[in-house]
Every structure is written in C-alpha cells, then in structure tokens.
Amino acid sequence: MARFGRSLLTLSMAIAAAGAIAACAAPDDDDEESDLGLGEAAVSSLDPNGSPQVAIAEPEALRRLEASGYGFGHHFGRPDDARADALLASPAFASIVEGIEANLDELQQGDRSLGVGMRFVHRLFDRAWLRSDRSRFALVAVTNRLDRAATSGACGETRFVYRLEYDDPREGASSRMPMTVAIVLPQVPRPGEPDCTASAKRWMNLGGTGSALAIAAARGPLGGLPAMTSVETNLQAVRWPSSVRKDMGGQAEYMLNVWRRAPGASGAMEMAPLDNTPDVAAIAADPAKKRALAEWVTREADAIDSGAARLPDELSARTAYSYGPRGLARLANRPFSQLLAGADLDRVAFNAMTHVKSPRGLVRKLDESSCQGCHQARAMAGFHVLGNEDDLGTNHKLNRLAVGTSPHFNEELAWRLRLVRAVAGGADPSALPEARPFAEHATNDGLVGASCGLGGDPSFDGWTCAEGLACVDMIGDGEVGTCTTAGGPRAGDACEKDRLVSSADPHADRVQNLDSGDAACGRVTRGAYCSGASGGFPGGACSAACTKMGLLKDRVICGAAPPRRRASTSAWAPAAGASRSA
C-alpha cells in the first residue's frame, strides 16, 4: 500500500488546478456593459451558489426542494425519497438499471482482471447499489438550460441532477458515489405565452437562499413543468489504481448514456443517440457513413462554431466512455479526431466564425461538443456537477469535496446567464445571440489551470494567461497548454513534464516522463520535490516538508499528500478535495 506523509497543499490547487476545480471572481451584475457583451472576451466565471438564475446548487435549497415534490422518485412515479430497491417497481428505472448492467457485463467480458472489490486490479462499478435499500439519489443541482433551445427546441430544458449515495450504520462509512443522473424536462411557454420571454423572466426573478430560494423556484420556473423527456447517466464504470497505471497516476472510465421512452405502453426506457457523439466504430467501418459525416461537418460548420449543430441520429453512438486522467490529450476522448482528416475540411470557410479559425480548431470544438470530450474538458475527473457537500450530512471531513462543480461548469455559467437575460429581453433562444465557447475555454480569466494557446494556430492564439503565469505544454498536446506559475511550480502544483503517446485504444496509452520536476519544485520552495504520477496525482505534485496537519501558511495547508518516489515521512502537498484529474 502506498505510504502517505504530511504535506503542504496549495490552496490555489484546490480552486484552480489543471482541469479540476476552480473558483473565480464573479462579474458585477450591475455592470451591463461588461456582463452583457457578446464577444468571448466578455465571458467570466460565476459562483454557482450565487447564480440561481442558471444553477441552483446550494444544499439547503436543494434539500427543501427534494422534500417538496422534486425528489428523485417523483420522476418515476414513486415517493420522493424512494430507495433504489423501491425504484425498481418503475419500468423506467428498472430498464435503465438493466441497460447499465448490460454495459457492465460487456466491459467485464473484455477484461478478465475486471471485477467488483479490492481483490481485482481493475475495479468495476458495483451494480448492487442500483438495487439496494441502502442507496438513494440525492438532488445536487437544478440547472436552467435555456441555452439548449437551439438543439432541443421550445425554451430549452430544466435539468435536475442527482447523485448516488448510500447509508451505512457505521460512523463515517456513508458516502456519495461516482454516479450522477440528470432528469431532463422541457421548458415550454405556459398557456397564453407567445414565446420564451416569460420563462426567462421567471428564472431571472430568482433570488434569496435556503428555503426562500426553494420556495421561489417551486412557485416560479419549476412550477408546472411537463414530465421528463429523457434521463442522462454518467458513472465511473472502471477504475485502475495508480499502483497499476503508475505512468498515468491511475485510470478511470466513465460510462455515458441518454435514455428515452421506448415505443409501446410498457413505460420502459431505452438507450438513445448521444448528442454530437459519433459512433466511431460504425463510421470507420462504413465509407458511406464516413462521407456523410464529412458532408455534415462542411454543411454545419457555422452551427458547430455557434453551438447550434446536432449530429444526425444515424451517425450517433448510444454509449460512450470518457477516460481520465489527461483529458483531451487522449485520442479516445476525441472521437471526431479519430474520423476526420484534413481533406474532409477543405471546403470549410473560417473567416466569418466566432471561435473556430482553423481546421484544427474546428475538430477540437467538435471533440469538445461530444459527450466524452466535454466530460474530459476542465472537469472533475469525468463529471461537471458532483454537488456541494451538505453540512447536515454524515460524511467524514476527509471524505468530502472542497468544491462540487467543475471549472467548465463555473466558467460557462456567465455565458448561460447572458443568454437568459437576452431572452428575457425578447431575444429568440433558438438563435443563440452569442456563440457557445469551447468547453475548455469559456473564460479569458487565464488563471492557474486554464487552457492556453501554445502558438501557431489562430483558433487558440487568443487563449492567454494572466499576468505572472506562463503557458506550458505539460503533456505534449502541441495545440493547447496549461497556465502555470511563471517562476516555477509551487507546493501542490503539477510539476512533471510528460509526453502522452495516445491511440484510439485508451488501454494502450502511455506517458513518457521528460522531466521529473524535482529541480523545478526545489527552485521555488526550498526542500520541495515532485511526488510523481505514481502517487495518484497525474503530472505529480510539488511537496515540501511540514509537521502539523491542518496548518495554514500563506496559500498552502499541511495535509495528506501523494508519496514521493523515495521514502518520506512528511511533506507539504495538495489539500483535501483538490483533485487535479483532467
């Protein structure tokens, strides 16, 4: 078993480390000029706890909503607080469980080392929790997706996001698990409303906190919503520990599905096409489908840039997997890159586009619009919403997330809010007044961990870092780097420089270490070293000795840290909850 010492954890890592968790300054809502601009430069990030017009993420408000008719069971015709075993009486829920189990069976058939429990070197999601009387789905967010009107119709969608959790009679043993379920309901004009203006205004009128916010939401935008139209599931199906994938710092595989009502009166759900996610194997094996994909990209290039494109169902996958860590550097997370060649984009004109300025930019934006690409773009492992910890919960303080939403989610909220304001002012939501930004670059803040252009491609040339930071290619991406401290890595920062040798088979991916990072860490902090990816932190983590757990010093904290390559009893390293998975 890996040995963990005491180490100093940088607080900046907890809020803005590479592709994990970010917290950035919110714009002044009274500054109409800066907040309502239509260019990418105007995009800034928002705290989801302070922007209920686009996301309700406050635990107290969510707890009140759950008890007021918005619990998970309600969507399946069961009591709000129904446990998983009781939910199986719903044909809709039962069929989703059966579909997930079929996918898990398929994964296990292809890997003899895969199974449930610590005795397996490749660890499989335990399907028993989907049928247990000890597990439930807790409401962790409600989001206003009016921005989806261009692809889903009407006034977009309202999404209730739930996370799987279990109870345990042992103290400190209850926990949340790596699975989320989004219940998608259409937003439509109410009787007598000619368009979506009133719907947007109901969201804009939200305010307050706790019970007051919950009551306002139930009486306002959440009142009278139609029944769900689809269910979206995301779960960590497979995990390989860092002791098995030392070069990667471990590996995780996330199963992504959309479920819609099956034909007939049974009430069952079936797998549906995933948004803008091509079926790579089917298209690669069929020249006609390959031509159809290239023609769609050429025809819809402007809509791809704006975020209004929708891949035809006949080209779309029904199940996708995203792979972490190392995010978009892995070819398996970039399905369009596996299928499109330069010649496929010869007839695309880029001069009038907002974000995309080159063939490489177009393919990267396509990849980031796919399910696996988006869920590996400045995400928390393979998720964007895991939920803020509820202070009334029973989780141990060392089994908690510091931040419950990803950098991508936080940064895109300001863009979504500007669209809601525009529609409240009479704009047509089906014609986005501002193009959807790249999933990995919804803001120009350029803080630590932000994606930045390495030069040489006009699509990314404007992706710059804030003063005092430098754009560094930490993984051999070639197109996009990461904003890092210009003087070198501090305690908790990623420190290894690597090159990822990637292929369409994620199990064949390998990381070649170019620089251990020990010298770079030591130049900034005396005695510091780089832990190395084998300790479970992709890219390593600068650590320096400390003696008192919980001690705060400058912007770092003494806490449990990844083990170093050589024996060590104590060190300063990244703080609890500061996952840097891409």
- Per-residue pLDDT tens over the stretch 429-468: 999 889 999 999 999 899 989 999 999 899 999 999 999 9
Longest dimension (CA), the chain: 71
Number of other CB atoms surrounding residue 262 within 10 Å: 16
Type of residue found at 160:
F
Distance CA(464)–CA(150), nearest Å, equals: 30
Q: Is the pLDDT of residue 569 over 50?
A: no
**What average pLDDT does the chain have?**
86
Cα distance between residue 356 and residue 510, in whole Å: 30
| Predicted confidence (pLDDT) per residue in 92-128, tens digit | 999 999 999 999 999 999 999 999 999 999 999 999 9
pLDDT band (50, 70, 90) for residue 190? very high
Q: How confident is the model at residue 485 (pLDDT cuts 50, 70, 90)?
A: confident
- pLDDT tops 80 at residue 34: no
Q: What values do phi and psi take at 24, rounded to 5? A: -125, 165
Residue 315 tokens, joined: 């080209």
Q: Which of 101, 61, 8 is nearest to 392 (CA)?
A: 61
Q: How many CB atoms lie within 10 A of CB 178?
A: 18
Does the pLDDT of residue 212 top 60, yes or no?
A: yes
Put simply, whether the predicted model's pTM sits higher than 0.75 gets the answer yes
pLDDT of residue 3: 33
Predicted pLDDT at 41: 39
Q: What is the pLDDT of residue 411?
A: 93
| Rounded Cα–Cα distance for residues 480 and 459 (Å) | 10
Q: Kindly state the percentage of the chain with pLDDT values over 90.
A: 69
Ranges assigned E (strand) in 417-531:
451-453, 469-472, 480-485, 497-501, 510-515, 529-530
Radius of gyration of the chain (CA): 23
Burial class (CB in 10 A: 0-12, 13-18, 19+), 428: middle
**DSSP letter for each residue of 31-63:** -HHHHS--SGGG-----GGG-TTTEE--HHHHH
pLDDT tens figures, 231-286: 999 999 999 998 898 888 899 999 999 999 999 889 999 999 999 999 999 999 99
| 18 vs 218: which has the higher pLDDT | 218
Average pLDDT value for residue range 157-165: 97
Task: Tell which residue, 375, 313, 369, has the closest CA to residue 147.
Answer: 369
* Burial of 460 from C-beta contacts in 10 A (0-12 / 13-18 / 19+): buried
| Residue 30 reports pLDDT greater than 80 | no
The pLDDT confidence band at residue 44, using thresholds 50, 70 and 90, is low
User: Per residue in 312-329, pLDDT tens?
Assistant: 999 999 999 999 999 999
- Whether omega for the bond prior to residue 325 falls within 30 degrees of 0, making it cis, is yes
Q: Could you report the per-residue pLDDT of 342-379, keeping only the tens digit for each?
A: 899 999 999 999 999 999 999 999 999 999 999 999 99
Closest CA to 446 of 54, 30, 11, 43: 43
Q: Span 176-186, mean pLDDT?
A: 97
Q: Look up residue 67 and give its DSSP letter.
A: I
Start-to-end Cα distance in the chain: 24
The residue that leads in pLDDT, 169 or 470, is 470
Q: Please indicate whether residue 216 or residue 537 has the higher confidence score (pLDDT).
A: 216
- Least confidently predicted of 341-345, 532-536, 560-564: 560-564
Q: What is the pLDDT of residue 403?
A: 83
Q: Assign 135 to helix, strand or coil.
A: strand
Residue 356: the pLDDT is 96
Q: Interior CA angle at 459 toward 305 and 326, to 5°?
A: 95
Q: What's residue 563's pLDDT?
A: 66
Residue 528 is encoded by which pair of tokens?
């510091």
